[in-house]
Structure 1
Amino acid sequence: MLLKIVFLLILLLERANSTSMVTSDKSNELVMIEKSYVNWVKMHASSKQPVFKNAKHKFKPCMTIKVSKNPRLGDFVTLQKAINAVPAINLCRVVIFIGAGTYREKVEVPNTKAYMSLVGAGADKTIVEWDDTADRTGQSGRKLGTYASATFAVNSPYFIAKNITFKNNAPSPPSGALGKQAVALRISADKAAFIGCKFVGAQDTLYDHLGRHYFKDCYIEGSVDFIFGNGLSYYKDCHLHAISNSYGALTAQKRDSFLQETGFSFVNCKITGSGALYLGRAWGSFSRVVFSYTYMDKIITSRGWYDWGDKNREMTVFYGQYKCSGPGAKYGGRVPWSRELTQEEAKPFISLDFIDGHRWLHRL
């Protein structure tokens, strides 16, 4: 509650000081509210200054909760009710065990509930699904936008998920369709880990929004920009599967300043699927993505990368690959502004040090 009050005070101050907020256009107000929230998260939940400043990544549980489709076998029958039962400003690890079944619900972990672990019965057995798209009208009567289209949204640090499928059931849109972004999971907090999980969708499946994140043994499926955002994230031993019938893109990383310590690193992953796939599109002017020791199927376009229609970004992005294999990994046809990295250049991207992981992942 205290953090919510602080955020509201910050939001009110920003409204008072921003002339762009003095408008009767409600859709613009929604955009400004989201931007204010993002700024608040950056200030209070970044790698430099987390919300729980003196806290460490706690693993020993102080509370366990069971969720089951069968009310006789669990404490709750929905995930959101289980999450709501966790005390606000939580300072110890809470483990929520989720039984087998398909949980059709839209779920959000608020920013006041840290140290939460969700453990499923297996990614093929425990499924959380919804079907919102960016152009769908929400309860407020306004369009949701990409940010609010997520089936599962995480706003609090030190989150862990294991053996769960997060799914957005919205149908795959035709190429060039507007407003069809359909997020399966959005992670907008620092120091989060996903192990043995699946993220299933089409356009904009995994919103790797803000913070340091670790993905291990995960399956991620989509068509266009299906891993996107401005996180600092390390993907290890993951399967990345495209379902596009035409052109698609695997990543859209949004680093927009050379001062930002963000980017995506994929190590020992596998890329398969259909269509013609770019490894990444330069959503941010300083977008940064590296693939190392990764198998690339023939679906990868020879050029590899796309500048988002802005030639200036070709001078500022950092796109590279290191010791990748497969028919799509041939570097000869790549755009000249991408890089085939040397061992020394690749070194910062191929260990957990990329996300400072040795400090907060050592017991996972």
Structure 2
Amino acid sequence: MEMFSGTMRFLLILFFSCLFCHGKATDCGGKSVAQTIVVDQQGKAAFTTVQAAIDSVKSNNDQWVKIHIKPGLYIERVTIPYEKPCIILEGESSSTTTISYSDHPSINNNATFTSSSSNVVASGITFKNSYNLANTIYEPKDVGSEPIEPATAARIYGDKSFFYNCSFVGYQDTLFDAYGRHYYKDCYIEGEIDFIFGSAQSYYEVNYTNNCLMDVVGRDPNLPGFVTAQGRSSSDDAGGFVFEGGSIRGNGKVNLGRAWRAYSRVIFHQTYFDSIITPEGWVAWNASDNASTTTYAEIDCKGPGADSSKRVPWTKKLSYSEMNDFSFTSFINKDGWFDNLPTIS
């Protein structure tokens, strides 16, 4: 009896051909941009919405396509699907180019921006979910007029994603850093409850400590929030959040993180902590049965909130060699994917 039928052979050939095509597509043809598309709300370009510009990119795209977004407030939900890699979203600055929406059904469906493809770059854009925010310029509301709900500004699924000079604005579950290797450079992230969460393998870097990498929006002085809720699920899971430099400031008490899953991993290196950081710093949450499986560490951090004398006893003390495993090169760029991206200014 033959092991495979003719139909099965065809399906297997098709399957492996698709794998080859997707692998080739993720190379994106080198560092050059093959096409630039412009979005302008005033009708002075090919598209007036960001989503329409993305929709125009061919499936299984294998060359870098830049979508330049003119200044404006774009009230729309934007998605880069899995089959459209090699896309650059370029705003003119995060203070003038904003993509915003107001929705909250669930963390899997409510995001203002969703990126599912590999090889995606974004720069100079604010991604906002205004549902829990007061005084938005197009849907003003009293802070207490509606219950707080998870309302995600961005969810990032694709591998090899780079965000430069972007802002992520929300209150609860602002940035769903879901899966893949991601690099956030000189970005601003605002929220209070689990406002950076997910299972990704991500590196957040700001080279100057006076810049506010994370801004805590406190509402209840008696109820501290959480900067991170990282979801690493096993000891051999590559995921984790590494924060290099920057600062945590704001107007409400906040914990550095809580364990969404048992092997949660978050490391702060040379980060400035304002006095808003709680003395204990970390919460076991879903790792409460054995908090020692988590990896929570603070190395060479500064500021009034950096006093670690009252931290939970299961935080980690990393040696120099262990810390080297969490450098940019070692942690997310071993294969050099970042070096193959087009230059972003």
TM-score, length-scaled by structure 1: 0.80
Matches within 5 A, 1:269-348: 269-308=246-285, 310-348=287-325
Q: Partner residue of 2:37?
A: 65
1:227 counterpart (175, 196, 202) = 196
Please tell me whether the aligned partners of residues 331 and 340 of structure 1 are also in contact (alpha carbons under 8 angstroms). Answer: no
Residue correspondences, number: 305
**Structure 1 residue runs of 4+, over 6 Å off?**
none
From the superposition, tell whether residues 236 and 51 of structure 1 become closer, same or farther in structure 2 (CA, over 3 Å): farther
Instruction: Name the aligned partner's letter for residue 129 of structure 2.
Output: N
- Summarize deviations over 1:232-285 as a string: whole Å, max 9, x none: 000000611100223100000001111211000000121100211110110011
Report the alpha carbon displacement of residue 64 of structure 1 after superposing the two structures with TM. Answer: 0.9
Q: Partner residue of 1:184?
A: 153
**In the alignment, is residue 52 of structure 1 matched against residue 22 of structure 2?**
yes
Whole-angstrom distance in 1 between the partners of 2:72 and 2:163: 19
1:155 counterpart (116, 122, 134) = 116
Whole-angstrom distance in 2 between the partners of 1:104 and 1:357: 38
Report the alpha carbon displacement of residue 79 of structure 1 after superposing the two structures with TM. Answer: 0.4
From the superposition, tell whether residues 263 and 349 of structure 1 become closer, same or farther in structure 2 (CA, over 3 Å): same
Whole-angstrom distance in 2 between the partners of 1:358 and 1:293: 26
From the superposition, tell whether residues 315 and 50 of structure 1 become closer, same or farther in structure 2 (CA, over 3 Å): farther
1:213 counterpart (173, 182, 194) = 182
Report the identity percentage: 38
Please tell me whether the aligned partners of residues 282 and 313 of structure 1 are also in contact (alpha carbons under 8 angstroms). Answer: no
**Considering only aligned residues, what root-mean-square deviation do their CA atoms show, in Å?**
2.1
Matches within 5 A, 1:25-44: none
2:71 counterpart (94, 100, 106) = 100
Q: Partner residue of 1:165?
A: 126
From the superposition, tell whether residues 53 and 313 of structure 1 become closer, same or farther in structure 2 (CA, over 3 Å): farther
Q: Partner residue of 1:37?
A: none
Report the alpha carbon displacement of residue 349 of structure 1 after superposing the two structures with TM. Answer: 1.5
2:86 counterpart (85, 103, 115) = 115
**In the alignment, is residue 88 of structure 1 matched against residue 59 of structure 2?**
yes
Whole-angstrom distance in 2 between the partners of 1:88 and 1:224: 36
Whole-angstrom distance in 2 between the partners of 1:119 and 1:192: 14
SS in 1 for 2:305: coil
From the superposition, tell whether residues 313 and 244 of structure 1 become closer, same or farther in structure 2 (CA, over 3 Å): farther
Report the alpha carbon displacement of residue 311 of structure 1 after superposing the two structures with TM. Answer: 2.4
Whole-angstrom distance in 1 between the partners of 2:286 and 2:58: 47
Please tell me whether the aligned partners of residues 220 and 240 of structure 1 are also in contact (alpha carbons under 8 angstroms). Answer: yes
Whole-angstrom distance in 2 between the partners of 1:82 and 1:157: 18
SS in 2 for 1:128: strand
Whole-angstrom distance in 2 between the partners of 1:188 and 1:229: 10
Report the alpha carbon displacement of residue 310 of structure 1 after superposing the two structures with TM. Answer: 4.5
Whole-angstrom distance in 1 between the partners of 2:159 and 2:102: 26
Report the alpha carbon displacement of residue 179 of structure 1 after superposing the two structures with TM. Answer: 7.2
SS in 2 for 1:81: helix
Whole-angstrom distance in 1 between the partners of 2:304 and 2:262: 29
- Summarize deviations over 1:24-64 as a string: whole Å, max 9, x none: xxxxxxxxxxxxxxxxxxxxxxxxx9982244254311111
**In the alignment, is residue 125 of structure 1 matched against residue 96 of structure 2?**
yes
SS in 1 for 2:275: coil
SS in 2 for 1:52: helix
Specify every segment of 5 or more residues in structure 2 that has no aligned partner in the other structure, as ranges. Answer: 1-10, 12-18, 135-142, 207-211
SS in 2 for 1:290: strand
Whole-angstrom distance in 2 between the partners of 1:51 and 1:125: 37
SS in 2 for 1:53: helix
TM-score, length-scaled by structure 2: 0.84
Q: Partner residue of 1:264?
A: 241
Whole-angstrom distance in 2 between the partners of 1:133 and 1:271: 26
Please tell me whether the aligned partners of residues 234 and 352 of structure 1 are also in contact (alpha carbons under 8 angstroms). Answer: no
Whole-angstrom distance in 1 between the partners of 2:250 and 2:301: 17
Report the alpha carbon displacement of residue 117 of structure 1 after superposing the two structures with TM. Answer: 0.0
Whole-angstrom distance in 2 between the partners of 1:310 and 1:68: 47
From the superposition, tell whether residues 172 and 124 of structure 1 become closer, same or farther in structure 2 (CA, over 3 Å): closer
